[in-house]
Structure 1
């Protein structure tokens, strides 16, 4: 399946609009703070930074990540006829991350959620409406990933999904039930940025994204690259955010003396960065070339004429 040129141009324009919305909010936060370092620390989820910057920052780690993903998808739509899976993956993730903004307090978050949700739905619809079958047997199809890299990437993503589930289970055990519900659906107990989705909600999205990408990798589906690269980007980015907090509290330097929970934070951060980069490297390479169809189909070449030819041949 390929994507028509009008659909590709429309998808690129929608992605550019999504990137523009995220960029406007990021620039507004940067103008309010005047310090890129403070804004970056707030994106890492550092409790100290979020406490002092509470009410002054609207964006979270999801916003710069959606900005980068939208730009990358726009470029892919302009360059490749096989960008349908990339458009669908970007639209689905944007839809999931912006949905909690519909019931979040603040008019800015609501307007942004409505705009992004409309654009995300339009992106998925554009990819679906613009798909067409190959014109002939000689038209190139999206390649499947090679078995070794695909299985390795799938295992790494599956480990990442299990890690998210375990961390959320540990958090749910330690917190009161009403706060646990707020972590998934939003509520007054959460004091994060205005555009930030609830952390439990993000965890569900990550598990679904990692699981979907892992299943695609194990099946060596043609859309593995789009979902796998997106999942690898999320795994790397969340790992970098956690690694920044780990380095700030000097947990790596005192790893042997740290508590077990702190050591697990260090291991999770290191795995997120290394595992995510590995997934990106494995799935960014070329897939298995599509074999050219046989010139005579499945019946083979025509039989040679008899020799010597019979009378009247």
Structure 2
């Protein structure tokens, strides 16, 4: 199955609207903070070095901007357009849903807009499909077995790591704070547009697990979901590793208590695993089966039936 031309154009337009929405908020934060470096460290979770101001965006926003831009290009040019639009829409829906109960009116309007755009992407990906018109029309391919299994293992380990950390915090924090980590209550300090940390962890676990299962099955949508999962995994790993390096945690890793050491190692694993997943799934997939050849020219018609009917 592939996408019709109107569906491709509609999906690209919806992705462009998502890119524009994220870009407006990022430019607003740049104007408030005055420095791209300060904004980058804010996204990385290192707010101690901020000179002034507070950003409304989180690390999720630049990642979604890049993902939406890539999905717009894929909608116009790639045979994986349907899965790219579906993956982008589904993840955007999941990450923007907590904005519906945000107290800030600007965040609420943005959440409603992006939820509508994301729902449109999912509908376009589902309703705009059509069968191939010709035997030689390119269709979504499957990943190679080795690359798919390796990416699936890395994503499965990442899902287990994120789930393990969330269980760790649930066992150490009071029940009220644990609930706030999923609902964005007053005890949680976060960027206004960013999802609550517990909610984000649940979305990441679901995405990593889904992408891992798709990779193990070598499904045709593995590339879209796997690349999206790899991008988020690498981004969060880079943010955690950069923060640990700036604060000197990596230099004295062996002397730190176990939770701090495990957190730094988890971030480093996320960075390396995310880059590896992107490299494994961005390459050429398994070769498609050759279509049935056309009959050679000049082939004689089949012989008449035997015995011949009367009057033949």
TM-score, normalised relative to structure 1: 0.91
Q: Please give the alpha-carbon distance, in whole angstroms, between the structure 1 residues aligned to 2:273 and 2:52.
A: 31
Change (3 A) 1:302 1:284: farther
- 122-131 or 210-219, larger mean C-alpha shift: 122-131
| Candidates 123, 141, 144, aligned match of 2:142 | 144
Please name the residue that 2:255 is paired with. Answer: 257
CA contact (8 A) 1:16 1:70 kept: yes
* Residues 150-170 of structure 1: per-residue CA shift (max 9 Å, x gap): 000000000000000111111
SS in 1 for 2:48: helix
- 220-229 or 248-257, larger mean C-alpha shift: 248-257
CA contact (8 A) 2:181 2:199 kept: yes
Aligned-pair distance for 1:41? Answer: 0.9
Structure 2 gaps of 5+ residues are 304-312
Q: Say what the alpha-carbon RMSD is for the aligned residues.
A: 2.0
CA contact (8 A) 1:183 1:201 kept: yes
Q: Please give the alpha-carbon distance, in whole angstroms, between the structure 2 residues aligned to 1:209 and 1:53.
A: 35
Q: Please give the alpha-carbon distance, in whole angstroms, between the structure 1 residues aligned to 2:85 and 2:127.
A: 12
* Residues 65-98 of structure 1: per-residue CA shift (max 9 Å, x gap): 1111110110111112430000000000111111
Please name the residue that 1:206 is paired with. Answer: 204
SS in 2 for 1:29: helix
Q: Please give the alpha-carbon distance, in whole angstroms, between the structure 2 residues aligned to 1:263 and 1:302.
A: 76
* Residues 167-218 of structure 1: per-residue CA shift (max 9 Å, x gap): 1111111111001001011111122111111000000000000000000000
Aligned-pair distance for 1:267? Answer: 1.2
SS in 1 for 2:255: coil
Q: Is the aligned partner of 1:8 residue 2:18?
A: no
SS in 1 for 2:239: helix
Please name the residue that 1:222 is paired with. Answer: 220
TM-score, normalised relative to structure 2: 0.92
Aligned-pair distance for 1:37? Answer: 1.2
Change (3 A) 1:238 1:302: farther
Aligned-pair distance for 1:293? Answer: 2.8
SS in 2 for 1:170: helix
| Candidates 128, 131, 143, aligned match of 2:129 | 131
Q: Please give the alpha-carbon distance, in whole angstroms, between the structure 1 residues aligned to 2:32 and 2:183.
A: 28
Please name the residue that 1:26 is paired with. Answer: 26
